[in-house]
Amino acid sequence: MKKVVRGRNGLLKGAVALVACLALRDPGVHAAQLVVGIADMCSVSNHVSVQTAYTEAVSMAGNLPIVLPAQTNRAAVARLLETVDVLLFCGGEDIDPARYGAEPSPRLGAVNLKRDAWEFLLLDEAVKRRLPVVGICRGCQLINVYFGGTLWQDIPSERPSEIAHRGNKLHPVRIVPGSRLAGCLGTDLMDVNSSHHQAVKELAPGFRATAFAPDGIVEAIESETLPVAAVQFHPEKLLVNNGRSEFRKLFVDLPGWAGAKKATGFATLTTPCAYTNEAGEVLLYRRAELSGRAEARPSRGGGTRDKTRSASLVLFLHGAGERGSDNVAQLKHGVWPILDFFAERNEPVCLLAPQ
């Protein structure tokens, strides 16, 4: 987006700026703490509900869980997502087969049409924002269906095997080496729990299967282009109920598991402020702090200002310094005028510019 910005530091033409309009957060929340939005499971009439294992797992990882109540208004959903860093979809009922163009199986379990509508709308808005998204159990199936995949409606009758996928029984899974899941867990083979009778059948375009049960059932998926990932098993129960501390890693680095990685090579930051994918595209904007006195810069009047301030708004100059625009190239080494421009308007800002 081309912007012409005028402040006391003069006219800056052609500045390429991506503005993330974030909700102001409590300054008492540490900048490194992720706010994890957990979608309302809509499982009890007239209640907002999420099983405590999900919130406890997020908290045990040092992050902040908040439950997002079901909404039908798209604007309200978009506003909710402004408050979170990562979105988590939980387990639950079967997804309506009409969502993936199939007739209901006689063995189809209970469906929750209200929840389907809410979660598809929520996921749609999250994808538009390139917000990191993770799914567990039904959440894995939801993500696969949303992106164009299909499901086994009932594994025992449609794809019988010796593996018991229900009853929270343990079975081994093989994790694809080099996958984000393998990177987070630090292994390619482990025992996991199972509590599902549906699973990924046809994998959604743009995704890859990254873990398999011995019978070939898909146990994890990852998007190849978006910060989206999911597992069919229940890492939150393994961590909270079974003391499997290795699964804490997933909840510590939910953006990394989803496919967003912490930005590197940027100046003026004391804490990670943006997550990027391998192409360098910004995927997640977070409140951060500019670094201290060492990052002070001389003003045009000859003095020196301490530029330390909390940031609730993030500008990222992606591709700043490319040939063909001297004004944009100058921003590579002249970020302070833009910081001043927003500071004068009481909009604390952190600007990321390549060094």
Based on DSSP, count helices (H) and strands (E) in the chain, helices before strands.
11, 23
Q: For this structure, is 236 an active site residue? A: yes
As a whole number of angstroms, the distance between CA 226 and CA 223 comes to: 5
Q: Which of 171, 196, 197, 234 is catalytic?
A: 234
Among residues 19, 23, 18, the alpha carbon closest in space to that of 37 is found at 23
Chain Cα centroid distance, residue 229: 9
Q: For this structure, is 165 an active site residue? A: no
As a whole number of angstroms, the distance between CA 248 and CA 185 comes to: 9
Q: For this structure, is 202 an active site residue? A: no
Angle between the 138-146 and 113-129 helix axes, to the nearest 10 degrees?
Answer: 60
* H or E stretch at 39: strand 35-39
Q: CB–CB of 67/48 below 8 Å?
A: yes
Q: Count Cβ neighbours within 10 Å for each residue of 252-269 and write b for 16 or more, e otherwise.
A: bbbbbbbbbbebeebebb
* H or E stretch at 86: strand 86-89
φ and ψ at residue 240, rounded to 5 degrees:
-80, -45
Q: Which of 137, 140, 184, 273 is catalytic?
A: 137
Q: Using CA of residue 24, residue 268, residue 37, residue 119, what is the dihedral sign? A: positive
| Residues labelled as active-site residues | 137, 234, 236
